[in-house]
Structure formats: C-alpha cells, structure tokens
Amino acid sequence: MNAPRQTGNGEVIVSARGIVKSYGGVHALKGVNFDIHRGKVTTLFGENGAGKSTLMKILSGVTPPTSGEIRLDGEPVSFSSASEARDLGISIIHQELSLAPNLSVRDNIFMGRELPGRTGVDFAEEARQARALMADLEEDIDPLTPVEDLRLGQQQIVEIARALSVDSRILIMDEPTSALSAAEVEVLFRVIRDLTARGVSIVYISHHLEEALQITDYAVVLRDGNITATAEAKDIDLEWIVRNMVGENFDLGSPPAGYDFGEVALSIEDVSVADASGSGLVVDHMSLDVRAGEIVCIYGLMGAGRTELLECVAGRGAMASGRVLLEGEDVSGLSIAERIANGLVLVPEDRQRDGLVQTMTVGRNLSLASIEAFAAGLFLSRSKERSLNDESIRKVTIKTAGGDAMIGSLSGGNQQKVVIGKMLTTEPKVMLLDEPSRGIDVGAKAEVFRLLSERAAKGLAVVFTTSEVAECLSIAHRVIVMRRGRISREFGTDATKEQIMAASGEAVDA
C-alpha cells in the first residue's frame, strides 16, 4: 500500500482529486481537490448551492462522482453505497435529519446494523449503548422514547449519536448544530475534541461562521463548485471566510426606515401555552402588539417558548388561555387555513417536516398555500400557476433549474427560500418566521432579510425568532427577549449583544 501523503499541514488520510459532479446540465462540482487530515477538523465553508453537501455525499458513498478520484490511506477507493463507505470507517451526519420518527431513539441509532443476541436482536445491549451515548452528549433522553416526541434539537442529538455509535475513523458533520442550543453546541465541541485526540478526522460544515472558527484546524472555501481558498486556522478570521465565500464583506442589513408604522396588525393578549405534560406553562401569560410595517425579533434560548408561541398564534398549537387578534378581529377560534386566508402565516422551524412536501416539485410547493389564486371552477390554470411560481422564484432568488425540479434537488438554504416564498405568495398581513435562517449561509440570510425589509416597508408586520444575537441586531425595529415563557426584556435598535444575552439568561447582568 502507498504511504499516506504528507503535507505541510500533516498526514492526509483522504485525498479527493478532480471531483466533478453533474446533474444533467448543472455542474455542482467542477474539479474539486479536497484533503482530510488525520486527527484534525477540516471545516468546509460556502454558500447554499456551492456544492458542500454534494461533495460530502460523494466522500461518504451516498452518491458517486461523475469523474475524479478518491484515495483512502493512499489507495484509490470507490463506494457503491453509504454502508460500504461506513465499513471503511467514513460516516456522515446529514444536514437534513434522516430519522424514522415512529421508531424509538434506540432503534434509530442501530437501524440497519442491529446488535445480535442469542435469540435475535439484543435490544437490552442496544439500549445500554444508546443510554451511554446520550450521557456522553449530556442529554437525558430515554432510549425508548419515540423520536417524533422529541424537539428538533434533541432529534439532532440522536442523529449525532447514531454517527458516533459507528466508531468511525472519519466523521463528516454537515450542519450538526443548526438546531442545537448554545449549551448543546459546547457539549458537541467537547466530543469533537475528544474524537480528534483519539485520531478521528472530522469534516465540519456550518453556516455559523464564528462558531466554526472555535473548532477549526483547517479551512476550505467552496464557491459555485470550485475551491476558492484554503488555509490553516491560525491564518484566517471571519472577514477572510466571508470574503472568499461571497466576494465581499457585508452585514445582514438594518431596520427599514423612512416610513411610519401602521395600526396594530397582530395583538397577542395574555396567551398561555401548556407544556407537553400539561402540568406547567411553556408560554406564560404573554402579551405583545406588532404594528403594520414593524419587524419584531424574538430572541431566547432553547425552551424559552419562542416556537410554542408562534405555533399557537398560527393555529398549530393549542392555547391554554388568552386570544390572538388580527387587525382587531379575534382569530383564536380559526383553523390554520382560515388564518392564512385572513392574512396570518407561519414559516415553521422544521422545513423538511412541516414546510415542504418532499415528493412534489419546487413549483407545486410554492403554490400550495395560494392554490385558490389560479383555480378556475373545478380546474387549475397551469399557466397562472407557472407564472406565479416563476415570479416567486425570481423574487425570492431561489437557485433551481426551474419550477419542475424536485424539491429534494435544492440545497437546504434554497428549500428554506421555497417555504418563505410559498407564504409570501398569499400576500399576508402578518408573517411569523421561526428560525428563518436555520441552515442558511450568510449570503442567503442577507437575501431573506432584504425580502422581509422590503415587505415591511410595504406594510407587512413581521415577527421572527432567532438564537443568533447578530440577527437580532440586523433588521429588527424591536427585540423581544423571552425567558421561561415570559418577556424578560424589550429593546429598541440601540441594544447591545451583551444586553440581549444577559436578558435571556446566557450571561449574568453586571
């Protein structure tokens, strides 16, 4: 066997050379060279659609390259499946969760590689190992809990535990922290450091740039299917990453100005939401008014009640007490569809499960919420639908081959744009967005916030939640900080990062 190649940065365990991947006339990767170093973290940066996930799928055996060569320990290899790559020590945590919601945590972790016992599967040993993995990740989750009963962040922990259970030599993490709290991210980083200390190689992809800098040994930037920059961690900073990703350094915008707010568009009056057990309140008698043209950001840690509040207002969750008014009219008793028809819409946190139909095309997903706009009696006007979809694709800047492309062919960020575009086509009066930038790169975030700013200037009332302080300080006219189901502080445009974090409980007030 050829000896693994040595570089100035240490031993290269995997070397990909000239990797090309084409989907028809679309070239996702254009001759990419990529190295993975033994016992180090290589972080891959890039905008949505740059080709990051495609490259990782090739390296993990999910899909073959159109051309190019992969060498493992100096020897050429090719994978016909992800299980074949896993047998050689390469595992991947996908950006989009690939769990079976109706199965338990234990069964998801060991799915497809069940542990044999004397009379079949050794469920007791699987449960023991699953419990140990949860303990390593500092999560108190019963292995027999159905995955569908877990919040999104806990489901992400299960996905990570499944990859760790394989005992891989090379672990690819594609957006592993997109649904995690700050505390859970710290635990994951401790696990990563333990793994690299044992010689495990990590490939890390994240749109949380500052967060990724904490764990990176080597940085690689991918742009439009090409590698544009590589460097060691000591030679880079946030500006270097953004400049090489998007060609310029820019912020996420500022609150739209030059107009007066209209009347109160959304009024949340003394709303309470019970927790899963029914014994407590996850939203505790909360009241909030939002005016037409105003952008309000709700910030808080995991468990603060942000998601539960928005889902209750949109009609997805049950309200224990209180009422919701839309332009002065009580909509508390209306269904989700009726609230949408009246102008109150929600972009949910989990786009895969709640925002999209995976078996449909981009166009059909875009037009789902506004189907009445192109209905003619018992039939649908395909020309009107196509015109509506083309306009949405253009306005929301969705990178796609067209409305007939399958939704699964889009990157995570572009799928999120489809969800946002779908709701904007209904011409809403109030738009609620739960973590709209989850899994979206810095360029796409700026585009989404630009869209929201433009719509607010035309009278749309916007409420969005975030777990990133930098986003609070971008386009919001007001920042509402939630803590344990209540509003702990309210800030205007002069808020600081430290004030917001202190109000949420992330820091202690001086």
Could you read off the pLDDT tens digit of each residue along the chain, which spans 510 residues?
Answer: 444 444 445 689 999 999 999 877 778 899 999 999 999 999 998 876 788 888 999 999 999 999 999 999 999 999 888 889 988 989 888 766 778 889 999 999 998 888 898 888 999 999 999 999 888 888 888 999 999 888 777 888 888 888 888 878 999 988 887 767 777 788 888 888 988 998 989 999 987 788 888 999 999 999 888 999 999 999 998 888 878 876 655 567 889 999 999 999 999 999 999 987 777 899 999 999 999 999 999 998 777 889 999 999 999 888 999 999 999 999 999 999 999 999 999 998 877 777 788 888 888 888 877 777 766 666 677 777 787 788 888 877 787 888 888 887 887 778 888 888 888 888 899 999 998 887 677 777 888 888 899 999 999 999 999 877 778 888 999 999 998 899 999 999 888 888 887 888 754 333
Number of helices and strands in the chain (H, E): 16, 23
Would the CA dihedral through 87, 92, 98, 103 be positive or negative?
Answer: positive
Sign of the Cα torsion 80, 81, 85, 91 reads positive
How far is 226 from 19, CA to CA, in rounded Å?
Answer: 10
Q: How far apart are CA 16 and CA 25, in angstroms?
A: 23
Q: Which among 51, 5, 103 is positioned nearest to 414, based on CA atoms? A: 51
> How does DSSP assign 158-220, residue by residue?
HHHHHHHTT--SEEEEESTTTT--HHHHHHHHHHHHHHHHTT-EEEEE-S-HHHHHTT-SEEE
How many beta carbons lie within 10 A of that of residue 125, not counting itself?
13
Q: Dihedrals φ, ψ of 323, to 5°?
A: -155, 160
Amino acid making up residue 148 = E
Q: Which residue in the block uniquely carries the two structure tokens 């190689």?
A: 201
- What pLDDT does residue 510 have? 36
Quote the pTM value.
0.62
Spatial distance between the Cα atoms of 251 and 262, rounded to a whole number of angstroms: 27
Nearest to 172 by CA among 243, 107, 65, 91: 91
Overall residue count recorded for the chain in this entry? 510
Closest CA to 432 of 461, 453, 396: 461
Which two three-digit tokens encode residue 375?
């209905």
The full set of domain ranges for the chain reads 11-246, 263-343+428-509, 354-427
- Strands (DSSP E) found in 215-364: 218-223, 226-232, 264-274, 281-291, 295-299, 321-326, 329-330, 344-347
Q: Which amino acid is at 357?
A: V
Alpha-carbon torsion (105, 107, 112, 113), positive or negative:
positive
The token pair that represents 112 in the structure block? 């497809």
Instruction: Output the pLDDT for position 21.
Output: 93
pLDDT at residue 224, as a whole number: 81
CA distance 255 to 14: 46
Q: Which CATH architecture has domain 263-343+428-509?
A: 3-Layer(aba) Sandwich (3.40)
* Of 487, 496, 389, 476, the residue nearest 433 (C-alpha): 476
3-state SS string for 474-494: CCCCEEEEEECCEEEEEECCC
Give the list of residues 6+ apart from residue 472 with CB closer than 8 angstroms, or none. Answer: 297, 299, 466, 479, 495, 500
Q: What is d(CA 369, CA 337) in angstroms, rounded to the nearest whole number?
A: 9
CA–CA dist 506, 375 (Å, integer): 50
> In the prediction, which pLDDT does 507 show?
46
Helix then strand then coil, in percent of the chain rounded to 5, is 35, 30, 40
Tell me the CA distances in angstroms from 426 to 297, 345, 392, 404, 415, one per residue in order: 22, 8, 11, 21, 18
State the CATH architecture for 11-246. Answer: 3-Layer(aba) Sandwich (3.40)
Q: Determine which helix (DSSP H) or strand (DSSP E) holds 301, and give its type and residue range.
A: none
**Cα–Cα distance for residue pair 164/10, rounded to 1 Å:** 24
Q: Can you tell me the distance from the alpha carbon of 26 to that of 29, in angstroms, rounded to the nearest whole number?
A: 9
CA 510/CA 500 separation, integer angstroms:
13
Distances (CA, A) of 59 to 76, 226, 243, 310: 12, 16, 26, 39
Name the token pair of 209.
């740039």
Number of CB atoms found within 10 A of residue 232's CB: 13
Q: d(Cα 398, Cα 405) in Å, to the nearest integer?
A: 12
